[in-house]
Structure 1
Amino acid sequence: MYVEWAAELPHVIAWRSTVAPGTPPTRILPDGCLDVIWHDGTVFVAGPDTTAQVSGASAGSTFFALRFAAGTGPGVLGLPADELTDRQVPLDQICAPAEVRALSEADDPLAALDRFTRRRWHAPDSVMVAVAAQARAGRPVGAIADRSGLSPRQLQRRCRTAFGYGPKSLAKILRMQRAVGLARAGRPFAEVSTTAGYADQAHLSRDVKALAGVPLGDLVS
């Protein structure tokens, strides 16, 4: 069972999951975020993915986590997101082992993760928060750079630091997320492609398959 909700800190989602017997492997889609995850007493960082990851945790496994969107994670962890792209890294390789040990042994992992985050919290880069919002709304990358007052090179560098990849990849990932959300809400695929900003339904199919590893129909069945 998976449950998520908005944390008190801005742009942060708390979630928990317990793997029931017979649960098939879970396909985790890229979303422009990074997560700090407690899993049965171990704590690690799941960096921003460029393609879907498949998780096959054993029955009874329990996860508690905070998901950092809009470029908030690098400030908490003290390193750029592109050092974590497509990686899962034990937290004690990033933070003090004693601090991580307290997290791993906590009776209430989510409360401990919240305290850990508050101690290390830095206000997110407002420009990158706006970039994420514009990318999510489907604004072209050139227009995002213009509205942000950044050169293409500056936008590329700051996006890699905040999100783990450049603005074009971020825009594609967030567009795919929007398309999957629309499809799961029951919208016809032809309508999904238009609403989410794809050139046509074939474009939608190619992008989803490239990022998710399976056709769109497999994600909504």
Structure 2
Amino acid sequence: MALEFADNGASVVVVDVDEDGLDELTSEITADGGEATGVVGDVSDPDSVEAVVERAIEEYGTIDVLCNNAGILDDYAPTGETSEELWDRVLDINLKGVFLFTKAALPALLEGEDEGVVINTASIAGKVAGGGGAAYTSSKHGVIGFTKQLSHDYGPEIRANAVCPGFIETGMTESLIDETPDEVQELVDGTPAGRYARPEEVAQVVAFLASDEASFMHGTAVDVDGGWLVD
């Protein structure tokens, strides 16, 4: 997403707990002539979130688009195997982080001449069971609900939408692909697309949702799932 927005001329503030990965990404963007600032931050920590938002405004004056994309899996643990610690960690990052960043950025998003844009990463697990365990599925259902309520409360000053990816080949899913390749392949073979998605395919949809071409889209949860949910 950061690369896609930078390629489209946006000044990007990238947030991650992984400082090395952050440096690598921002260096790639600036080497290609883009504008990027990397900030180490924890989306589940209110003080960290406030500091990131303050840094973004210091660097660029305001925030026009907020993408809440941080997330973790729960190893598909059912309720009986979900510890309170796992539940809290997944909900803190996947759902509370979306709330914290949106709330912190809200004044900047509201004060601009154009409508502010918020795009939240949900999942097919935000619409059906089986895309994750108890904690993950609950968190992603919550992201979709939060997106709709945000649109209801702040439209038209803020245009809020979500994307619902299917199986994307990312660092988050790498262990699943490595540890259970046959099972994962069977799942993706059963979709109309018949393959994993590349991260940039989701990023392109997010960039569209942030653009004026999507100006009449409010409170939607757009499937980017290769047809996973057609049945």
The structure whose residues are more often helix, as a share, is 2
TM-score normalised by the chain length of structure 1 = 0.30
TM-score after normalising by structure 2? 0.29
